[in-house]
Amino acid sequence: MAKVIKVDYDRLTEHVFNIHKEATLQRLDVYIHKRLPEYSRSLVQKLIREGLVSVNGRESKPGYAISLGDRIVVKVPRLIRPQVVPRELPLEIVHEDDHLIVINKPPDLVVHPAAGHWDDTLVNALLHHCGVLPETDDVYKPGLVHRIDKDTSGVIIAAKTVRAHAEMTRQFQERAVDKEYLAIVEGELPFDEDVIEKDIERHPKVFERMAVVKNGTGKASLSFYRVRERFRGYTFVLVAPRTGRTHQIRVHLGSIGHPCVADATYGRGKAVYLKDVAGEGVSDARVPDPDQPVLARQALHAFSISFVHPGLGEPVRYEAPLAADMSLMVELLRTYRSGTA
């Protein structure tokens, strides 16, 4: 049964948006929904019709075409959303103690509840396994101190106590946590190792994306990479982000012309089939159904995380074995694409 989200019109929060970029010129309801995605477009339209949205001091209509210089004021109600419910879901536990739990997250698993995913996320599974997790600033992120994208696999940690959460949050804020990712990228990287240092900010035209910028308005972003294996047309690489920007690795790799394989946002986004690696007409027992993709999500895996353990006070490092789809892709590349062109 679908969960009903109630609306509390007695408590309103005001948001102000000043339009100064041409990229934001679109319908009023579409723009507000993109900026406040927790509110459905139908709810946004309802708020506009009820006079809770003004443009330049006047009430407007959902289909109003935004213009440069517009000042949009949105009064939105507090959403009374469902409680986070424990749910038994499979977890690959890398490490667990009284202070924290380390998980190897599979691809396609959302980290925390949000619209469309109220009870099938990593947080739901963690609550079922742990019983209780410390509260955070966001009621839907208990215990979490960081996250990875839904389609990125790999290591993620959650704190099991308030003290551990506070200490891990401090380490992340002070950039004292080291992370390493494994990626399969399109093409052959020109250097065996290099640093990508490019500022990142939100994409000027697509709000859900990030982009490299040169105008000084972005956030400083630094990634180090080292090639692990080279193949014809592909490279298997380890990437260590020195900063923690949204989509940083995917944006940086795409910016140098070598996006993650099958990245729908920053690359060609095409799923990889056996024929793409081995050629037409080749059969392989490791791929029973050649019509099913070998890899259908961005080839990015959070491989390791290192920090000072909040309970032991000692440096620790945890690794997550490579996800099955990426592991198979690497095996096929070794068989059919060994060596460079």
For the annotated catalytic residues, the residue numbers are 149
Q: Position 236: which residue type?
A: F
CA distance 183 to 124: 28
The DSSP bridge pattern shows strands 100-105 and 93-96 to be antiparallel
CA distance 92 to 155: 10
Terminal C-alpha separation, the chain: 54
CA distance 50 to 37: 19
**What tokens were used for 130?**
């742990």
Report the candidate in 71, 43, 104, 108 with the shortest Cα–Cα distance to residue 305.
104
211 within 8 A of 267, measured Cβ to Cβ: no
Residues in the chain: 341
Residue given tokens 């209509």 in the structure block: 61
CA distance 204 to 210: 8
336 within 8 A of 329, measured Cβ to Cβ: no
